[in-house]
Amino acid sequence: MGGTESTAIRPAAPSAAVARVSRISALDFTKGALVLIMVYYHWLNYFIGLSWGHYIYLRFLTPSFILVTGFLISNVYLSGRRPVDGRLARRLLTRGFKLLVLFVLLNAGKILVGSHLPSDGGSAGLSRFGGIEEAFGLGNIYIRQEKLVAFYILVPIGYLLILSAALVLPYRRFKYIFHAAFAGCFLGLVALRLAGSWSDNLAMVFIGMLGAMVGFVPIERVNRWVSHPYLLALAYAAYVAAITRWNVPFRLLAAGACLSVACVYLAGLRWKSTGAVRRHIDVLGQYSLLGYVGQIAILQVLSAVFHRFDPGPATLPVSFVAAFALTMALVEIVEYLRPKSRLFDSAYRFVFA
């Protein structure tokens, strides 16, 4: 997900040695819209819980973020508009490790304060540090319907960035090294399946590498691919029918991420407005990691307040509006303060860039 130009998803402001690359507004819109959908998803977890029986239709969210991350790695960093050298490898490596450290710190913080906050719909295992260890291993963090850790997507995104850093220098001599890594991920998943095992981390990295494969295609061609709304709608309807019938096996999860991102991206291409709403969604996309982390902290506080004081029928509508409004406000405040304070900007970059 990213956060500045986003840790994982948005390229940070370049140094003097690296030329600034113009932003792709439709991609910013895509990330921002995904963050808003994620707010809805997490609000359901905190205020509705497992009684809401349609989570399968939101399963595309987590793989969508890592799909976009992979796309940007190849489309931005490896496009020829930036030097592909040791500096790029170090940048990707640093960001990958930052995400892993951030994941540990966020979960440690949640464990420490967990006794004072109501749990979300599926984080009962947060008191077990074994959940964090499992997240770094196979990544199979679900026990029945309970999730052992929060912020899980940071781990496979971190792994994707670290893997990409390792591939950058060989890429200068062998242009298909990322394609070979993509094939390796696929074969690894097949081998695990044949052995009766599975790894969610490897599955998510595979989807990230799938995004990288698409990212090697020039953006103009990608725009032409997605500019068929009726075909997209038909494909998405078939996907919804399939998951309604068969739930969400991995092959449908990957297809759903691709279709969902394509639909949102097409909306970003077609919506030409320069008004406040479009601008805010774009800004939210530029700070997608901050929006992702911030929304969970906001919802934890809202959950603690509303469950403690029990305002009755107003709980759902008020908490719903507050979750979106506070997440949007957080991003706008950070966007406003960064150019005003060098210290604030440096602190922000240290954590999120």
Task: Give the domain ranges of the chain.
Answer: 31-352
Cα dist. 145→52, 64, 296 in Å?
13, 21, 19
Comparing CA positions, the residue from 304, 292, 324, 333 lying closest to residue 8 is: 292
pLDDT in tens, the chain (353 residues): 544 344 444 434 433 333 344 578 999 999 999 999 999 999 998 888 766 778 899 999 999 999 999 999 999 888 766 678 889 999 999 999 999 999 999 888 877 766 555 444 444 444 455 577 788 988 877 755 567 778 889 999 999 999 999 999 999 899 999 999 999 999 999 999 999 999 999 999 999 999 999 999 999 999 999 999 999 999 999 999 999 999 999 999 999 999 999 999 999 999 988 889 999 999 999 999 999 999 988 998 898 888 777 667 778 899 999 999 999 999 999 999 999 999 999 999 999 88
Task: Look at residue 216 in the predicted model and tell me its pLDDT.
Answer: 95
Q: In sequence order, what are the residues at sequence separation of 6 or more whose Cβ sits closer than 8 angstroms to the Cβ of residue 140?
A: 134, 198, 199, 200
Q: In sequence order, what are the residues at sequence separation of 6 or more whose Cβ sits closer than 8 angstroms to the Cβ of residue 145?
A: 50, 122
In percent, the amount of the chain with pLDDT more than 70 equals 85
Collapsing DSSP to helix, strand or coil, 146 comes out as: strand
Q: How many CB atoms lie within 10 A of CB 251?
A: 10
Sign of the alpha-carbon torsion through 183, 133, 151, 40: positive
Give the angle subtended at the CA of 227 by the CAs of 226 and 233, to the nearest 5°: 75
Say if residue 287 is exposed, middle or buried (CB neighbours under 10 Å; 0-12, 13-18, 19+).
Answer: buried
Six token digits for residue 42:
């997490």
Query: Bridge partners of 142?
Result: 147
Task: Look at residue 112 in the predicted model and tell me its pLDDT.
Answer: 75
Angstrom distance (rounded) from CA 241 to CA 229: 18
Six token digits for residue 266:
């097409």
Contact of 10 with 352, CB cutoff 8 Å = no
Angstrom distance (rounded) from CA 245 to CA 136: 32
Q: In sequence order, what are the residues at sequence separation of 6 or more whose Cβ sits closer than 8 angstroms to the Cβ of residue 65?
A: 1, 9, 31, 34, 153, 157, 288, 292
Contact of 68 with 30, CB cutoff 8 Å = yes
Angstrom distance (rounded) from CA 40 to CA 278: 19
DSSP code per residue over 266-320 = HHHHH----SHHHHHHHHHHHTHHHHHHHHHHHHHHHHHHHHHH--GGGHHHHHH
